[in-house]
Structure 1
Amino acid sequence: MNPVRIGLMTYAHVHAPMYCRLLQSLPGVELVGLADDDARRADEAAKAHGLRTYETYDELLAADLDAVIVCSENTRHRGHVELAARAGVQILCEKPLATDVDDAVAMVRTCREHDVPLMTAFPMRYSAPIHELRTLLESGAVGTIRGCEGVNQGQLPRHRRNWFVDPELAGGGALIDHTVHVADALRFILADEVTEVYAQANDLVGGPDIAVETSGLVMLTFTSGVVATIDFSWNRPMSFPAWGGLGLRLVATSGVVDVDAYAERVTSYDDATQKVSWLDASEGSYRAMIENFVASVRTRTQVSATGIDGLRAVEIVACAYESLRTGQPVACRPRTV
């Protein structure tokens, strides 16, 4: 069997190093190389992972690839996805799929026109605790869901990739960065769609030079009437054992369920550095996501988190920003693609 040949479109995202490690650890997968507009980042990736770098994205896409992972800054996703789609290679795009609903719609349409499967990087769909929760709900053991509380808190990401706090590249701040994970997890668990969004946010975390929102709360109302809140804040201290985490509390007619999506971890205490860290706090979900992507490339079949799922998350975020602007709840109407 020929190896699945995968390329990386930029090393910009904080997850790019992990994707390289995971791809290089999988049998039957060849990480061919990467292209990046930033020569410093390209050199960093080449040295860290022994990768070949390509001068242009066209050159990378011409290297007999089967698939690419788009790891560029958020506002550049559309250009890279559409370029890959026209080259006929399958795509895994980092979240958020786009920073604008029209861009997300265009990306889905372009991939469909070129018969290229598009996957959105939503690793929580591959989290064992999240799957266990979905199975529990489907069994009816806890009754009917009445409300949900979601938390996706993390460290201010500027120390890892400064573009996360640049609105021109990120499209926003903590709201767009973290809300999409929990919103998609809730859509996946509840098998339901959002009809209304209300949001509040502030920039109290990070200092006066931060030009984006750094903490806040989003309230979602689903078709079923279920109401969910999402704390999307970048409020974890730098001394926290990991970049952050994701948790859910679901209140139902026959019980309350608490879920820590990153519960599968080992806590490490290092006396030499006086630091506590969580080992494998999230990589298991990402590994399962990458394995699903590779399997879908082999068989040209659909994945769990599609481009449509990415679009729905972008729609929710767009409504949240509109709510911040107006101070009012905003109706969420899914676009037909």
Structure 2
Amino acid sequence: MKWAFVGASNIASEWMVGAVRAVGDEVVAVVSGSAERAQAFARQHGIAQALTDSSALAGLELDAVYVSSTNDQHEAAVLQAAALGCHVLCEKPLALDLAAARRMVEACRAAGVVMGTNHHLRHNSAHRQMREVLRQLGLGPLVSARVSHSVFLRAQLQGWRIDNPGAGGGVVLDIAVHNADSLAFLLGEYPVEVMAMTQQRGMSRGVEDDAMSLWQFASGLCAFTHQGYNTPHASNRLEILGQQASLEARNVLNQAPGGELVWRRVDGDLSLRLDHDNLYVRGLRELHRAIAGQPNDLASGEDGLKSLAVALALLESARTGRRVPVSYA
């Protein structure tokens, strides 16, 4: 497939150009509001077209568009891609409100193109293995889940994420959406109600850089999540706790493949074998399967809408100090 990249972002440069090429596809154009940035990106990665006006994409032969511009610009890019008949992979969060996300999903559906959300963490080998254990063997009745996803945001990734609420900055829209997708991938459900507290611990200006939250699921299970930008010396983990056994995945909430998975049982702990591979490459392979109409684990546009709904409910809870039902409508 031939791709256009809308947004000359760090993730596009560090991960997505290589992933597209690894699955045998080609990046033929990059679009950025900055001509200098678009040209530098194109030179660095050997891309033929460097554009500042996305309307020029209409003159190219394209199969797919990857959107990694700031969150407030996602909707326009996705609607344009759908109008061109291109499949779409969009960064998270899809938008800043559910109405915009719904318009994006419905535009792609109406155009007959596949829309994916770049929730890469579901493709970590530990999470795939966890889901197989949950499906095939189980942990007994599930009790709770815990996600510790507090990181240190590198200087080159800070920018609008720490000071621009209008662009979708803040750790909840950036990281809590990943936690929502990862738990949904494992549990097969999204929360119905949430509570959250947010804080600013020295990195951000005008948006939160740390958040704690409690999630209630329809099944009765509760989850605790911590998402933050200010912990350079912390590990991360995701745990599913059952009455008969538990699963603990450590250092798996990263862009790079890696981590370990322990199955804790009454007869002792067992470290499970993991075959690590590139999360973004696997995500693109799942997109190809979706386009071909094959069974797949792609995070769909609808999945992206639901993870956004969770994040918006968390922000509302933090603002009001109340439990907030999650609306997916």
**Residues 137 and 265 of structure 1: is their aligned pair in 2 closer, same or farther, counting only changes over 3 Å?**
closer
Sort the Cα spacing of 1:139 and 1:206 in 2 relative to 1 into closer, same or farther, 3 A. same
Aligned residues of 2:240 and 2:247 also touching (Cα < 8 A): yes
Q: RMSD of the alignment, in Å? A: 2.2
Residues in 2 aligned to 1:329 and 1:190: alpha-carbon distance in whole angstroms: 22
Gap regions ≥5 residues in structure 2 = 260-275
- Pair 178,222 (structure 1): closer, same or farther in 2 beyond 3 Å: same
104 and 164 in structure 1: CA distance in 2 versus 1, 3 angstrom threshold:
same
Name the TM-score, length of structure 2 as normaliser.
0.87
Distance 2:74 2:235 in 1: 25
In 1, Cα distance between equivalents of 2:100 and 2:93: 11
1:279 maps to which residue?
A: none
Match of 2:152 in 1: 155
Q: 1:285 aligns with which of 267, 279, 288?
A: 279
Alignment pair present for 1:30 and 2:40: no
TM-superposed CA distance for 1:295, in Å, is 4.2
Q: Check 1:40–1:300 CA distance in 2 against 1; reply closer, same or farther (3 A cut).
A: farther
Give the conservation status (yes or no) of the 8 Å contact 1:61–1:84: no
Quote the Cα distance in structure 2 between the aligned partners of 1:319 and 1:230. Answer: 14
- Measure, in 1, the Cα distance between the counterparts of 2:12 and 2:29: 16
Question: For residues 71-123 of structure 1, what are the alpha-carbon distances to aligned partners after superposition, in whole Å with 9 as ceiling and x for unaligned?
Answer: 11011111111111111100000011112111111111111122221100111
Tell me the TM-score normalised to structure 1 length.
Answer: 0.85
CA distance in 2, matches of 1:122, 1:24: 19
1:135-146 equivalence runs, <5 A:
135-146=132-143
Partner in structure 2 of residue 249 of structure 1: 239
Amino acid at match of 1:32: V
> Across the two proteins, how many residue pairs are aligned to each other?
308
Query: Residue 223 in 1 paired to residue 213 in 2?
Result: no
Cα distance in 2 for residues equivalent to 1:67 and 1:59? 15
The one-letter code sitting in structure 2 at the alignment partner of 1:311 is L
Give the counterpart of 1:127 among 115, 124, 127: 124
Deviation at 1:230, TM superposition (A): 1.0
Residue 208 of structure 2 is matched in structure 1 by: 213
Quick check: 1:49 aligned with 2:36?
A: no
Secondary structure of 2:278's match?
Answer: helix
Q: Name the amino acid aligned to 2:283.
A: M
Structure 2 equivalent of residue 277 of structure 1: none
Q: Is the contact between residue 158 and residue 165 of structure 1 (CA under 8 Å) also seen in structure 2?
A: no
User: Is contact 2:35–2:51 with CA below 8 Å preserved after alignment?
Assistant: no
Change in CA separation of 1:22 and 1:317 when aligned onto 2, cut-off 3 Å: same
Q: Does 1:167 align with 2:164?
A: yes
Query: Runs of at least 4 residues of structure 1 off by over 6 A?
Result: none
Asked if 2 retains the 8 angstrom alpha-carbon contact of 1:13 and 1:73, the reply is no
**Do the aligned residues in 1 keep the contact of 2:194 with 2:326 (CA within 8 Å)?**
yes
